[in-house]
Chains A and B, each alone.
Chain A
Amino acid sequence: MARSWGELLGETDAAPEPEETRAGMFSRLRESLAKSRRALTGELAAAAFDPGNEADWERLEEALIVGDVGVPATAELVRRLEARGGIEHLAEEVASLFGEPPTLNVAARPSVILVVGVNGTGKTTTIGKLAAKLSARGYSVVVAAADTFRAAAEEQLEIWAQRAGADFVGSERGGDPAAVAYDAIAAAQARGRDVVIVDTAGRLHTQTNLMEELAKVRRVIAAKLEGAPHETLLVVDATTGQNGLQQAKLFAEVAGVTGVVLTKLDGSAKGGVAIPIAYELGLPVKLIGVGEGLDDLRPFDAQDFARALVAG
């Protein structure tokens, strides 16, 4: 059963996604992963796979590498499958690298979700969709435009906030992002809002000064509200290669990342770098982005992801 929003948000009466919407979602994800599916099923149908044949193992390796899974995680998967004597359990092993299904912690009032990542991964768009989703489920939402660097970032977020029916807190371009986050939490407290989502400027994880600025945003949030930020989501573009691991490592160090959002899975990119991120760094993938529409942000389901990656 696929993960539902109710399950992701830890709602008490949460049920898995009903079968019919699930089928739609699954087929969409499957479609988007069609390329890798072809690659794998074309050459690696379990029936045709001969565990005694060296070339078959090499093709498996290639398929995983082409999916951006990376060398160490590929080696680990191959090792585990070798131990089990074939590739029947590939989906299961992929899923197991992701660990337990995570939840998105929005229980506190207000809860603060800090959203971080390198430039161009889709942070602002993700926040727009997340705000819309939470609003639709009855949460009142404040979005904070703490990206005070990129030209027109604030305008972009404000448009999304309107679409999502969320409150919007902004500032001057070039203003202090920590101050924007602070104001947004204060506004949420004063107005009794449920969730504050803080957008931050895209920054390369190697830019020491900008990473320091991000650490400060986090400190200010923590000082303003105990226990906050309740979630720090790292947005990773599914097109990203092995550098994604490096991004995750450094953002986790500086901003205490609690989960990953994998975006742009509607392209032909497989997002395989999510596997080493989860496996090597223990960071769960919580959400996936599969399109431009408001509904195209979905809870991540490791089983579905793995099956879509390797099977039909």
Chain B
Amino acid sequence: MFDALSDKLQQALGDLRGRGTLDDEAISRAMREVRLALLEADVNFEIVKQFVAQVRERALGADVQKSLTPGQQVVKIVHEELTELMGSGDSRLAFSPRPPTTILLAGLQGSGKTTAAGKLALLLKNDGKKPALVAADLQRPAAIDQLRQLGEQVDVPVYAEERGDPVKAVRDGIARATADGRDVVILDTAGRLHVDAPLMEELAAVRNEARPTNVLLVLDAMTGQEAVNVAKAFQERIDFDGVLLTKLDGDARGGAALSVRAITGRPIKLASVGEKLDALEWFHPDRMASRILGMGDVLTLIERAESAIGEDEKEELERRMLQGEFSFDDFLKSYKMLRRMGPLQGVLKLIPGLGKQLEGLDDVDEKELGRVEGIILSMTPHERRVPHAIDSSRRKRIAAGSGTTVTQVNQLLEARKQMAKMMKLVGSGTMPQLPGMAGAPGSGAPRPSATRKSKSKRKRKARK
């Protein structure tokens, strides 16, 4: 995968801080990195071109803010443009004034329609609705069994017919669900290839029969360049209203979401973020933008922290963090809270810049974390409060006291500093400072890249 885009941009731009504006040459270098990052994230080629042109326009002549490096400045612009592009349009589902509200799910095989149907039923049920599931997948072996089992798990009735055609199954299913007083009916259709004309025809027939309140395209977040063709074909045949993005719990950057949004104009409405049936969320465009850029997911982290941390300690910690006063006492406290937030591996992945470094680190060693605690506890109260007082002889003492090495102590000191900086920036409303993580595992040799290629291109030009 990719280093955080801002790290790349930092390398490309160097420290141009204070130069006033970003000049053309610097922006060209930056745009190459942006283009590459978006391509690596599977954003469609054409969309990347358009998007980069748009960002370039905005970046030209933009003032470099004092608190940002040029790299961050560009990331900020890219992030804002992405968020805006993905966020426009109504991301809510439509509810019919006369029940039942119907929701048709369609998509390729294996995109996760049936599971998504179960999750959506649970989400709506928890919202106070009375959902029902209707099986219109009479193709895949055991698809109906799967839907029945999911219905049982979320305690939502399932209407299915083993035989007959999907159009009839949908008609009967909606009628029976309505008669039983269900107010939302979710229709699970068979997966199909967008190039399979007869099956697309059938889907159009199902849509015409059901006249659904919402039509959702279920899209796998791992989809590549093909997403554009898929979206166009489904839009032509069934004119979907929005997208339900699945498998976002993996490490796919999900550029396909941007492609589909850009090419069809349809918003992403829902995102599936885990195996568990309650892991379906309303879509957050800003988070998706961060993800596509490989920036982790600060907001999710903050949200998860909020649910795990008590109100009082949170407020106090927040106040201190935002002021950039982030002592080792705070570190220890936040660190203990962190542990309450669930499996650390998942939490850490949400931190910008850490995603890449964690690759290959199969488990964050819990012992390692114990060591962090050990180091902090080996500091005097004064040292914990005033970290910059920790000079080299104190470092040696702390290392000896905690049974660690000076290097390990140094790493922790650096980590605290980065965290304090980041928190301060979050507080001031600017972009989070992405930790440099110099020397961390994984930040080693760069892969062959278009940057290099473009150098060779320049050579080629020079030869002519």
Contact = CB atoms under 8 A, between A and B. Distances in A.
Do A and B interact with each other, yes or no?
Answer: yes
A204 B249 contact: yes
Interface string B184-197: 00000000011100
B12 to A, nearest CB: 15
B142 A152 contact: yes
Given A71-B449, A122-B109, A208-B363, A241 B194 contact: no
B253 A119 contact: no
A76 interface: yes
A270 to B, nearest CB: 8
Contacts of B229: 35, 268
Instruction: Give the interface residue-count category, chain B.
Output: 35 or more
A89 interface: no
B251 A243 contact: yes
Instruction: Give the interface residue-count category, chain A.
Output: 35 or more
Contact of B193 (A62, A266, A270): A266
B391 to A, nearest CB: 39
A121 B247 CA distance: 12
B43 to A, nearest CB: 9
A269 B220 contact: no
Contact of A239 (B223, B247, B349, B456): B223
Given A204-B247, A267-B194, A54 B457 contact: yes
Contact of A152 (B145, B193, B220, B275): B145
Interface string B35-46: 010011110110
Contact of B110 (A67, A68, A119, A156): A119
Given A119-B247, A155-B142, A160-B141, A66 B225 contact: yes
Given A155-B145, A159-B141, A264-B109, A273 B453 contact: no
B149 A246 contact: no
Most chain B C-beta atoms within 10 Å of own C-beta, residue among A65, A173, A266: A65
Contacts of A244: 222, 224
A96 to B, nearest CB: 17
A267 B146 contact: no
Given A75-B452, A242-B42, A243-B251, A208 B362 contact: yes
A159 B114 CA distance: 19
Nearest to B345: A208
B346 to A, nearest CB: 9
B45 A118 contact: no
B447 interface: yes
Interface string A237-272: 101111110110000000000000000101111101
Interface in A54-68: 54, 57, 62, 65-68
Interface string A78-98: 110010000000000000000
5 contacts: A121-B110, A155-B145, A242-B41, A243-B42, A243-B251
Given A35-B229, A119-B247, A240-B224, 19 more contacts: A66-B44, A67-B225, A71-B40, A79-B453, A153-B142, A153-B146, A159-B141, A173-B149, A204-B247, A204-B251, A206-B250, A208-B343, A208-B345, A208-B362, A237-B222, A243-B251, A246-B252, A266-B195, A272-B224
